């Protein structure tokens, strides 16, 4: 009997919470929040309600800046366009005292940036994919492996893995792919341990990856990771900028 009462109480609390969320969603939406519904394409088409702040700055200001005496933020990617203006604006950090310590790496002397000009537009999907795969195979062969290739979609990553794996295997170069189900750390460790390998990754590989020495000889960015314009959060926040592409999407 006690178990049954606990179950009933839990269900009752769930209904109360759901009712409150529905009321906030439909009848009393807050100006500083973004609301949207998602209908799944499978599993009986469940409907999911979402809500997220339009601006995170006020929340950060209330729970971080105003609640602590001193806060220190450190990162290699806090600047945008050579300054901290975007960070200040997004985090309500008007009083931020910024220090740019520079980089210990001499990129001009040790790196080469190459942007191909003869590759088809992504809209020409078949020709574009053929060119991507051909370029990766040729680059991997020229450098004897040591490539980290970043994608913005799992579907293209999987397609590319299927296309280049057998061709590179002929030259003794192994393809490690995030589509294989291995963990991020497992793939990175495997890549470091192999002298001739190509690592294909997406999402979690875009930040916080450290591959020192000669293990990484080239970084390939297949497409820049711009947000999908139809994404509800991106679309709502874009509306708050006069030039959403340069002021929000690019930073």
pTM of the model: 0.73
Q: Which residue do the tokens 């991507």 mark?
A: 132
Per the rule left: phi > 0, alpha: psi between -120 and 50, beta: everything else, 198 is: beta
Integer Cα distance of 105 and 100 in angstroms: 14
Identify any residues that bridge with 53 across adjacent strands, giving them in sequence order: 33
Q: What is the pLDDT of residue 127?
A: 94
Integer Cα distance of 61 and 42 in angstroms: 40
Q: Where are the domains of the chain?
A: 2-53, 111-221
Class at the top of the CATH hierarchy for domain 111-221: alpha beta
Helix 154-169 to helix 125-143 angle, to the nearest 10 degrees? 50
pLDDT at 2 over 70: no
Integer Cα distance of 191 and 174 in angstroms: 9
Q: What is the pLDDT of residue 47?
A: 80
Half-sphere exposure of 90 (CA within 13 A, CB side): 13
What are the pLDDT digits (tens) for 135-185?
Answer: 999 999 999 999 999 999 889 999 999 999 999 999 999 999 987 677 888
Confidence of residue 18 (pLDDT cuts 50, 70, 90): confident
State the greatest distance between any 2 C-alpha atoms of the chain, in Å, as a whole number: 75
What are the pLDDT digits (tens) for 93-119?
Answer: 888 888 888 888 888 888 889 998 888
Half-sphere exposure of 225 (CA within 13 A, CB side): 16
CA atoms 155, 50, 244, 97: torsion sign: negative
Q: Give CB contacts under 8 A, 24+ apart, made by 134-143.
A: 136/160, 136/164, 136/198, 136/220, 137/164, 137/167, 137/168, 139/218, 139/220, 140/164, 140/168, 140/173, 140/198, 141/168, 141/171, 141/173, 143/217, 143/218
Question: Average model confidence (pLDDT) for the chain?
Answer: 86
Report the range of poorest mean pLDDT among 16-25, 56-65, 81-90, 195-204: 16-25
Q: How far is CA 5 from the centre of its chain?
A: 44
Any idea what the Cα angle at residue 203 is, between residues 111 and 40, rounded to 5°?
Answer: 160
Residue 149's φ and ψ, nearest 5 degrees, are -115, 125
Task: Reduce the secondary structure of 29-96 to three states and give it as a string.
Answer: CCCCEEEEEEECCCCCCCEEEEEEECCCHHHHHHHHHCCCCCCCCCCCCCCECCECHHHHHHHCCCCC
């Amino acid at each position: 009997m006690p178990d049954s009462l606990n179950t009933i109480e839990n269900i009752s609390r769930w209904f109360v919470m759901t009712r409150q969320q529905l009321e906030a969603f439909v009848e009393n939406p807050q100006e500083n929040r973004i609301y949207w519904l998602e209908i799944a394409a499978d599993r009986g088409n469940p409907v999911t309600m979402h809500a997220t702040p339009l601006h995170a700055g006020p929340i950060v200001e209330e729970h971080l800046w105003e609640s602590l005496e001193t806060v220190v933020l450190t990162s290699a990617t806090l600047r945008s366009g050579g300054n901290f203006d975007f960070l200040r604006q997004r985090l309500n950090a008007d009083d931020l005292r910024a220090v740019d310590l520079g980089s210990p790496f001499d990129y001009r002397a040790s790196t080469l940036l190459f942007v191909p000009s003869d590759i088809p537009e992504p809209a020409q999907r078949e020709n574009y994919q053929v060119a991507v795969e051909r370029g990766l195979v040729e680059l991997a062969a020229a450098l004897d492996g040591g490539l980290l290739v970043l994608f913005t979609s799992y579907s293209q990553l999987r397609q590319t893995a299927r296309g280049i794996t057998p061709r590179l295997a002929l030259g003794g170069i192994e393809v490690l792919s995030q589509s294989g189900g291995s963990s991020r750390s497992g793939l990175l460790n495997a890549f470091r341990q192999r002298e001739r390998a190509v690592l294909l990754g997406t999402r979690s590989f875009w930040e916080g990856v450290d591959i020192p020495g000669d293990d990484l000889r080239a970084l390939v960015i297949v497409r820049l990771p711009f947000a999908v314009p139809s994404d509800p959060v991106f679309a709502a926040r874009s509306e708050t900028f006069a030039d959403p592409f340069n002021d929000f999407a690019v930073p």
